[in-house]
Chains A and B, each alone.
With several copies, the nearest count.
Chain A
């Protein structure tokens, strides 16, 4: 099994993902610089990390999605490969059109960093198969633009196709005002996953929380049992 993390200028959670996949899970993980163009097909899962790519200037993820490597990510996703965008990575996936919807600034207009309760909405994805539907995970969020928006029609689509994977447990846990308390979604094919919470911050006993491991466990389980590609 081999993973890759793509680092954009201004990414800052790239090493944290590496720490988890490489040190906690012992999976060979390559760090790829945004500016190169290389075939990604040898990887089993691609991570777009959190941070402030290009300073999040203009809109978060807006400039990063034009990075040369993003073209490769699109090809990889279209071929059914697993792509996970965490926080800023989620924002980039939205801007790139790999996921539906857009991010607005948090309703509080403030950056918020805290652990929130998340409800598993769809436990049948490559990213959540080691969880149960309605299970509650506690995972940290840290963002200023996590107020997910999609129009009515789009929302109906998401629901119909079971694309909503994670919700903030309720209005009170919702840290940003996102529509329908959405915290994480997939594309229609189910191989591209974007989420605002940071599972990589909750994957080591010493840090006091291992709920995030269930996401990584799910990915690994999916790859081991199903061999990788989805749909396409």
Chain B
């Protein structure tokens, strides 16, 4: 069975996000003054093939995020899993 996983990784709350700040400033100077609280993180897509169920997949994704994909010191992550066949 194949599971499609979408992972969003972003900086934790009070961690400085210079990139987000620069892009927010950029948008504002382009005239989008109504934009605020912009933050930039990572977006990952991947497929996992397994005989096991969704719970097991979620467990694996959590483990992968903790070990490699996210930097738990400064980032937090969330994900979404769906079956693709």
Chain A CB within 10 A, most for which of B30, B42, B73: B73
How distant is A194 from chain B, measured CB to nearest CB, in Å? 14
Flag B57-72 by CB within 8 Å of A: 1 or 0 each: 0000000000011010
**1-49 of chain B: CB within 8 A of chain A:** 11, 14-16, 18-19, 22-23, 26, 29-30, 40, 42
Contact B74 A102 (CB under 8 A): yes
Any B CB within 8 A of the CB of A111: no
- Per the CB 8 Å criterion, the residue count for chain A at the interface is 23
Residues of B within 8 A of A57 (CB): 18-19, 22-23, 40
- Per the CB 8 Å criterion, the residue count for chain B at the interface is 18
**30-44 of chain A: CB within 8 A of chain B:** none
**97-119 of chain A: CB within 8 A of chain B:** 101-102, 104-109
Contact A55 B29 (CB under 8 A): no
Contact A63 B18 (CB under 8 A): no
How distant is B76 from chain A, measured CB to nearest CB, in Å? 13
Contact A177 B71 (CB under 8 A): no
A138 to B15, CA, bound (A): 30
Contact A177 B18 (CB under 8 A): yes
Chain B CB within 10 A, most for which of A54, A62, A95, A147: A62
Measuring CB to CB, which residues of chain A are less than 8 angstroms from any residue of chain B?
Answer: 54-55, 57-59, 62-63, 66, 94-95, 101-102, 104-109, 147, 149-151, 177
Measuring CB to CB, which residues of chain B are less than 8 angstroms from any residue of chain A?
Answer: 11, 14-16, 18-19, 22-23, 26, 29-30, 40, 42, 68-69, 71, 73-74
10 A-B pairs whose Cβ atoms sit less than 8 Å apart in the complex: A57-B19, A57-B40, A58-B19, A62-B68, A95-B71, A102-B71, A104-B74, A105-B18, A107-B18, A149-B74
